[in-house]
Structure 1
Amino acid sequence: MTENSTIFKKPLEIYTFIDPLCPECWALEPILKKLQMYYCKYFKIRYLIGGKLSCCNEKKSHKDMAQAWERTATKTGMSCDGDIWLENPISTPFAASIAIKAAELQGKQIGIRYLRKLRELLFLDKQNISKEEILIECAESVQGLDLEEFKKDLHSEGAIKTLQFDLKTTKEMGIKLFPTIVVFNDNADDDGLLVTGLYDYDVYVKVLEEMLGETPIASAPVFLEDFLKHYSFVASKEIAVTYDLTIDEVEKEMKKLVLRQIVERVPVKYGTFWRYIGD
């Protein structure tokens, strides 16, 4: 999870193409967390906003969208509340996409933190992230983000150009489904290796191995408390995937931390999230 690029130039870059309103992209988060914990010394991640965003496809009714989200939540274990499409439907993903890029102008890590918070508001709290007040509320909760700068960048040419670059890259690489990752190595003559959709963790490790040309050496796992402190708000599913635990085993471990006042339980429509409150 910790990175030190001054010591070791990372040989791989993972382009992660997402639709910010796509529940399957949200469900990729546990896999990415596990990859980062064990193999972050080998790669850096870059999030790109995909092209024609499927979540607002006019062919699907709001009822269809709600049912699709509920199915995804049940199948993947990453909660997403489809009732938003019946109670507070989103008209366009454009404003949210610009906001993600506006945050990213302050640094890639701040952009990633903003994307995470935005998806929590959307999938867990049923907030309509096409509204500017919600985008600003999200920014207020992101550590290290300059709020006034963000407000300016929400309407800046810089944020629009960054989004246009993402859309152009998505189109040029022929990405049509989300999530899709493309892994590049540091050999300019090699094509990237493309993986579309959601797969088991071991598939992604094999992709790293193929692009490295050798078997990557896994780092030691960090202590659970350190993991929780680093991410501050995580799903039982994310803990289960990262630490190879069942949901019941996660529950037992987290109950101990609740008693020690390290975390607090946050029930959601499907499953449970945990907020770090230690320190």
Structure 2
Amino acid sequence: MKVVIIGGGIGGLTLANYLHNNNVEVVVNERAVGSKGGGHAFLMHTDGLAILRELIAATETKLPGKGVDKFSLKRPDGDEVQCVQLDNWRCIKRTDLTRFLYDFLPAGQVKDNREFSHFIREEGKVVAAAFLNGDVEYGDIFVGADGGFSKVRQAIFGPVEFQPGRVKEIVGIAYNAELAQSNIGVFNKFQRNTSGLAFGMIPTSEQELVWFMQYDPAISDVEDGDSGKLQVFCNTLLQSFPAEVHQVLNSNDFSTSYIWNTRDFDVLPAFSDDNVVLIGDAAHLALPFTSAGTTNAMVDAKVLATKLLATNSYAEAFSEYYNLRSAEVVEHLHLGRGLRDLFLDPLGHDDEEFPIPLIDDKVRKVNPQLKKPVEIVYFTDPICSTCWIIQPLIRKLKLEYGAYINLRYVMGGLLPSWEAYTKGKIQKPSDAAEHWEEAGAQHEMPMDGDVWLEDPLSSSYPPSIAFKAAQLQDPDKAVSFLRRIQEMVFLEKKNIIKWEFLKQAAFDNGLDSARLYRDYEGKAVELFKEDLELVKQRGVVSFPTLFFSDGVSEPVMVKGVQPYEVLERLILDIVPDAQKLQIDTDARSLFTHFPTMTDKEFVTLSNLSREEAADMLNSLHGEGSIEKYASKNGMIWISKFDCLNCI
């Protein structure tokens, strides 16, 4: 089998690498002369990076580009409306990635100065591709990877009807070491909330930044081709934007910048015709708001190569390739159009409605919570020591009976203030310090009571309100947020009333800290009051308190630390035939679910003795699979495994 690829861009080169690595004869035909790819830069996420890592697995080659771990959306006046930690994103210059892929192929496998002209057919079947320079390349399968204006697509399907994107984008690369170094790892975007105008910038190295300006040409426009007019146009349109925006523009060579007239077309009914198949923008062109074009081309290449190698015929491979890719492409297409409409008409939309312009966040499905037979209402508090002590049991319950339970977290308001606290023997911070030390030792869960002596909390209300704010964004991430602030206060002696720690916990768990602060000051306060009212209605006087219910009968109340068998029995009383899931006790599996664990938690979930668990954890630490944080009274172990299903 010989595969002829028409187009030496990233999609075509990725496919060529996969096929070459599997001993398939392949020739890449690139229209440019001596070119290693045009364009400026783009963002790439997990799917694309995984493909690159797979291609270089047996080498010591480093990935091109710079990691991007933070997205910040601001208004032109500098007001930050979103601040979110990003996971596994990278900004890569197109020329760097093209060269990177090109260098893995044998010399002569990419032939340049070959602009596609037409196909040569014998008995109706394509047998060769002819190029404008007179060259002809024979083969068995032909792949159109020649971009959005694909001549290969036109040759097999005729012209497509392009839909105007109604948004233009000017892109460039600026050289400004001071700005690049101060913004390493940050995707900054400034966007109006009154009309369609935005400016974004991302460092690609310690000296340069890629930037873009998206604008509605109905506001104002400029002809392409005159660098002086282009510079004046950008500075004028962005006149009210912050100083760093103009620093970028003043550091830019506008002779290398250009205007991109965005457009797309409806998804094709097929990506192939007989032995000719399309990948990347040739197959499906979407608007740039999804930041997915390059990654989609690479995923196309991998899927197509995999199917060609695994199926009995190219017809079967092409059919399976289309079935796998077309549904996701349709989502991206409609998503891009929706984001465009929001960009052009932002009035009347809250700040929370402006999505992060990165595809994995926007296409993530938020499935409605399934109705499960057991409802557990969990009254807790971020600084409740007993709520910390029962963490191993709560985690085990989630793993073994998660298919049957909905666990609802309610903030109980343990400490309104020291003046208003009248429960038990604890009357002042030093009493809490002593209690934590004793309770931690008794239940083998590390707690450092010195926080109450060194930087005592005056109330548990602020972190409780912050949890309610986190729930407004993402209920699952809110639980991770709660766990993180518990670790901060119980192990790291951090006063989690302070916004700096709440902000960091939000950022660590993928929450938008700017939105969290707005909700913390607003909507979350009322939600916390509703929780306090529920505490009164249920007669809850201590924490933790759990109510088990089938939604019909009177709930059963459980207080404090109980043996695991008691909690298990309550579930089986409601669902007698409930099947306990057998936990995969392999350390990698456990750390995939729970990225941090104390010794007690690992013992509880792994079913190892304390001695066996200690040996296992120390061994994992020694090989670099986990890290540890040593508090005064014990360890917490931090996973370095990939966290795929963290709960």
Return the TM-score normalized by structure 1: 0.91
Distance in 2, Cα, partners of 1:131 & 1:259: 35
Alpha-carbon contact 2:413-2:461 (below 8 Å) kept: no
Q: Which residue of 1 aligns with 2:517?
A: 151
Equivalent position to 1:168, from 527, 533, 547: 533
Structure ranking higher in helix proportion: 1
| SS of residue matched to 1:154 | helix
Equivalent position to 1:267, from 614, 618, 630: 630
Q: Which residue of 2 aligns with 1:30?
A: 392
Q: 1:15 to 1:132 in 2, by over 3 A?
A: same
Distance in 1, Cα, partners of 2:488 & 2:628: 17
Q: Which residue of 1 aligns with 2:494?
A: 127
Residue deviations 1:114-173 (CA, integer Å, cap 9, x gap): 10011111001111111122211221211x3122211211111x2012111111111100
The percent of aligned pairs where both chains have the same amino acid is 30
Alpha-carbon contact 1:22-1:55 (below 8 Å) kept: no
Q: Which residue of 2 aligns with 1:208?
A: 571
Return the TM-score normalized by structure 2: 0.40
Equivalent position to 1:193, from 550, 556, 575: 556
| Correspondence 1:114 to 2:481 | yes
Using the TM superposition, name which of 56-65 and 121-130 deviates more.
56-65
Displacement, 1:199?
A: 1.0
Residue deviations 1:85-104 (CA, integer Å, cap 9, x gap): 11101111111111111111
| Correspondence 1:247 to 2:622 | no
Using the TM superposition, name which of 132-141 and 80-89 deviates more.
132-141
Q: 1:34 to 1:60 in 2, by over 3 A?
A: same
Residue deviations 1:4-54 (CA, integer Å, cap 9, x gap): 988974111111101221111111110011111111111011110114538
| SS of residue matched to 2:557 | strand
**4+ runs deviating over 4 angstroms:** 4-8
Distance in 1, Cα, partners of 2:607 & 2:457: 35
Q: Which residue of 1 aligns with 2:433?
A: 66
Equivalent position to 1:177, from 533, 542, 561: 542
Alpha-carbon contact 2:414-2:460 (below 8 Å) kept: no
| Correspondence 1:45 to 2:407 | yes
Alpha-carbon contact 1:101-1:162 (below 8 Å) kept: yes
Structure ranking higher in strand proportion: 2
Q: Which residue of 1 aligns with 2:379?
A: 17
Structure 2 unaligned residues grouped into runs of 5+: 1-365, 643-647
Distance in 2, Cα, partners of 1:210 & 1:229: 31
Structure ID, larger Rg: 2
Distance in 1, Cα, partners of 2:389 & 2:405: 20
Equivalent position to 1:99, from 466, 477, 502: 466
| SS of residue matched to 2:521 | coil
Distance in 1, Cα, partners of 2:367 & 2:386: 30
Distance in 2, Cα, partners of 1:86 & 1:6: 44
| SS of residue matched to 2:402 | helix
